[in-house]
Chain A
């Protein structure tokens, strides 16, 4: 990614330098050639429509090329490839809290394997922060109240700066950290050295602890919908809309259950706003995601990009993705029958 960005950047530097030097040189030349001593009488020229069109058209053509080029890069920067490993991030004044799906939690440090796509699913506990790793040329604001996401793939082991790029108060400049890129073997060792179980199993615990399992059961007796297989699929809402059950939707369903009601159910689920920490919510989200393919401890399925910020990429290759749940491409078919089945 850095390569793409740099290429465009240097192209722009070249264009900018060209125009700056061209115009400066012309001005300098005219200023000397037509100085009063040498040219005591000005010749009045009113203008030239042909020239105007020329120097409107040329810059326009140039910027259109730049637009397309940069838009392509932007698409790459904002659409996580399939099969990316996922890391959850909670920003707060003034620290970064990471949670790996394998279980480890970190503060202000993020260990990732080299050569793997890493997708960040991020939210903030308070104000807006911004996740910025200059070496990877990526940045995305971390907002309170919803998930945003971005992704990167580190190509060189090493330690890289992580900055908070959105002003967030007193210690904004202290909200820095490091991305530690390790080779795959070292990373696996690191990830599995801890005692903590996976994120989904932590979520499973919360699921019991907060009584979610009382209503959300796998048999038909639950007062709430069966959550198995919800994730990654369209959900029909009672107002007729259909939404994609992505991380943001799950999050919203837990914290603001009233805002989107699954069709066929009543708005009886209590809000858990204020009772769950962002970390617990993340655990629950990871758990419900894992339920998506039936087995909690199965590899986390490939998910769609989160609600809103970075919409779904047109389905690309992704053949090496190990997941199978995408066999049912969610955005392709609104399939209102699907949620109905679950009732």
Chain B
């Protein structure tokens, strides 16, 4: 068995430097690699290109890096209600490549699975397709989109084992599996790290071969963006 566990978040992020391209899992604040993000703030690396569906909120998630101006460019599908993100984008301080959410997922998967590029219908006829190659198949138009190239991928899982196998929970799964193995080094943080052999091989979402380093994360805040509830009648 090939062991992937590292002692802590510091060891997990060894080698991260300025100017790198990073992938970060999560949708909104759900399933984001909280420990890795906190460490990126600590390391104070700058000029980063971040591939992540969102950029957190003003004071959490990738928003923390935006506030410190550590990010040069975001590749995302959604800005939403993140005011600092929108402000930096409109002022031109931050380069932003907005792409369709499914394209984002599949450009990650292409990198993971060794595909150089994919044809997707998303964005055809819009400014997203400007300057890109397009092509007709069976009477429908598609846009050629390339696999991402990234230095590190930071993902967050629910459970993981020392062989790097991962299991995600609920919709905190989102982009995390697609990013595993899609960068030169994939770092997984988990809520519970167990010995190899503990997880059922049939229930593993991402095999350890896609993960280079794994560690037990600490103090998960797991903030909720929109707390919607109903009353018991």
Partners in one complex: no
Interface residues of A (CB under 8 A from B): none
